[in-house]
Amino acid sequence: MNNYRNWHYQISNDIKRKFKADIIDKLNFKFKGKIKIEYFYFAPDKRTRDLMNVISVIDKFFQDAMVENGCIDSDDLSTVIEVNSCFMGIDSLSPRLDVLITKL
């Protein structure tokens, strides 16, 4: 989040475009109505992190990508009514952020 706040808008846009290109093959679903999104963060090491600094920018880019690809109708409160995040521990071999979307 700290980096996102300080990025020039063109840098932010480039990173957002790369993120979308990286996940486009996973956006092969469609939800109508309300959804809940859950994020599960597996850190690469023991370094202390602020969970929301990790999650917030990815969540913003992910929700925008879902809307742009027709996976959900909108990313406002008429569709996304709950977002949760959980720290799942350290996985140095496969650090990642998994996402679970549930239709409500």
Handedness of CA 51, 52, 57, 59 (dihedral sign): positive
What tokens does 63 get?
């929700």
- Among 23, 35, 42, 36, which residue's Cα sits nearest to residue 86? 42
More confident residue, 104 or 13: 104
Q: Give pTM, 2 decimals.
A: 0.82
Q: What is the mean pLDDT of the chain?
A: 89
Q: What is the pLDDT of residue 74?
A: 97
Interatomic CA distance for residues 74 and 70, integer angstroms: 9
pLDDT in tens, 3-51: 555 555 566 677 778 888 888 999 999 999 999 999 999 999 999 989 9
Q: Could you say which DSSP state residue 24 is in?
A: G
More confident residue, 53 or 96: 96
